[in-house]
């Protein structure tokens, strides 16, 4: 018998660079300057880093990226005023309000207030509805990025069984809609699913988006599947025994005191899958690239 081949790695940095090159070319070609506003409220250092890196990436691609960072004391009414003024500003093509928002602010109310034509996150109910109807929509960035990664394998989606683990509004549900629109047979699993591993083993395309480190092990995976890992979990020294089989991650953990891992046990699953995304350098870079892509898309449609 032949030795099974380890999976091919789907490198998100490479595919993201292709998307970013398309965006830079579009922004150079358009007769107007593109504008993207990213809004952050509160003192969460991680959110602030995300917001600054999104605006910076925009500027690298020739888009006017502006970050609006507000203190935790900003009221819901004040945030709604900020959104209203960005809606009215013709130089702004895309508006992103970084989540999570402080608890006293109703995030849904804020999302609902964004002009759907500028909703580059694709979270507004109008865009959610259009996506689920299979109509042209601004599509949430992470699932849109996953579709680009699947396309990069060169494998067709039509007729394949796609299993998504996780039912969030940001990833799981829009992921299901996109794969269904591409004529996959789609199953969504979640915390109440019975015998989740058995359902996952049916998947030709398996998308893990649950936020639980190393949740997906090799017995969740059909040989030859495409495995996409949306998880980003920072784990610390207590996690070392669960990484003992992964020399690379174990070394990083020992050296740095923490290490980033996905929802998929990469070291085990790569022995079974045909394609797999690593963490980091998998889905992560695609999310920001697709945000830039959505900004171009939003501008071209709104400005005709």
Least separation in angstroms between CB 5 and ligand GUN: 34
Distance in Å, CB of 170 to ligand GUN, minimum: 6
Are the CB atoms for 63 and 36 separated by under 8 Å? yes
Q: Applying CB under 6 A, does 69 fall inside the site for ligand GUN? A: no
Written as six digits, the tokens of 119 are 């909703």
What separation in angstroms does the CA of 39 have from each of 73, 95, 96, 103, 151? 14, 8, 6, 16, 31
Residue 138 burial (CB < 10 Å; 0-12/13-18/19+)?
buried
Tell me, yes or no, if 54 is annotated catalytic.
Answer: yes
- From 93, 115, 119, 121, active-site residue: 121
Q: Is residue 121 a contact residue for ligand GUN (CB under 6 A)?
A: yes
**Which of 250, 277 has the CB closer to ligand GUN?**
277
Number of residues that bind ligand GUN (CB under 6 A): 8
* Nearer to ligand GUN (CB atom), residue 250 or residue 294: 294
x/- binding map, residues 84-113, to ligand GUN, per CB under 6 A? Answer: ------------xxxx--------------
- Residue listed under structure tokens 């680009």: 148
3-class SS at 151? helix
Active site residue 17: no
| C-alpha 116, offset from chain centre | 19
Binding of residue 263 to ligand GUN (CB under 6 A): no
Please state whether beta strands 205-208 and 233-236 pair in parallel, antiparallel, or not at all (unpaired): unpaired
For ligand GUN, the binding residues (CB under 6 A) are 96-99, 121, 141-142, 170
Q: Which residues are catalytic?
A: 54, 98, 121
């Amino acid at each position: 018998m032949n030795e099974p081949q380890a999976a091919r790695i789907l490198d998100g940095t490479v595919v993201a660079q292709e998307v970013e090159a398309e965006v830079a070319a579009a922004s150079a070609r358009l007769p107007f300057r593109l504008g993207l506003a990213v809004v952050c409220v509160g003192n969460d250092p991680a959110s602030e880093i995300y917001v600054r890196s999104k605006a910076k990436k925009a500027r690298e691609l020739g888009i006017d990226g502006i970050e609006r960072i507000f203190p935790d004391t900003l009221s819901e009414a004040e945030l709604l005023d900020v959104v209203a003024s960005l809606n009215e500003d013709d130089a702004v093509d895309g508006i992103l309000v970084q989540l999570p928002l402080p608890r006293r602010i109703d995030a849904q109310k804020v999302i609902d207030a964004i002009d759907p034509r500028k909703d580059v996150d694709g979270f507004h109910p109008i865009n959610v509805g259009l996506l689920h109807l299979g109509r042209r929509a601004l599509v949430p960035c992470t699932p849109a990025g996953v579709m680009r990664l699947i396309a990069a394998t060169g494998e067709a989606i039509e007729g394949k069984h796609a299993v998504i683990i996780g039912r969030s509004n940001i990833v799981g549900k829009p992921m299901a809609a996109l794969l269904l629109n591409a004529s996959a047979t789609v199953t969504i699993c979640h915390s109440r699913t019975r015998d989740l591993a058995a359902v996952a083993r049916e998947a030709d395309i398996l998308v893990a988006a649950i936020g639980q480190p190393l949740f997906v092990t090799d017995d969740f995976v059909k040989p030859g599947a495409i495995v996409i890992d949306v998880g980003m979990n920072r784990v610390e020294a207590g996690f070392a025994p669960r990484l003992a089989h992964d020399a690379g991650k174990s070394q990083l953990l020992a050296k740095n005191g923490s290490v980033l891992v996905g929802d998929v046990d990469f070291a085990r699953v790569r022995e079974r899958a045909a394609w797999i995304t690593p963490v980091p350098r998998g889905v992560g870079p695609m999310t920001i690239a697709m945000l830039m892509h959505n900004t171009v898309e939003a501008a071209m449609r709104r400005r005709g």
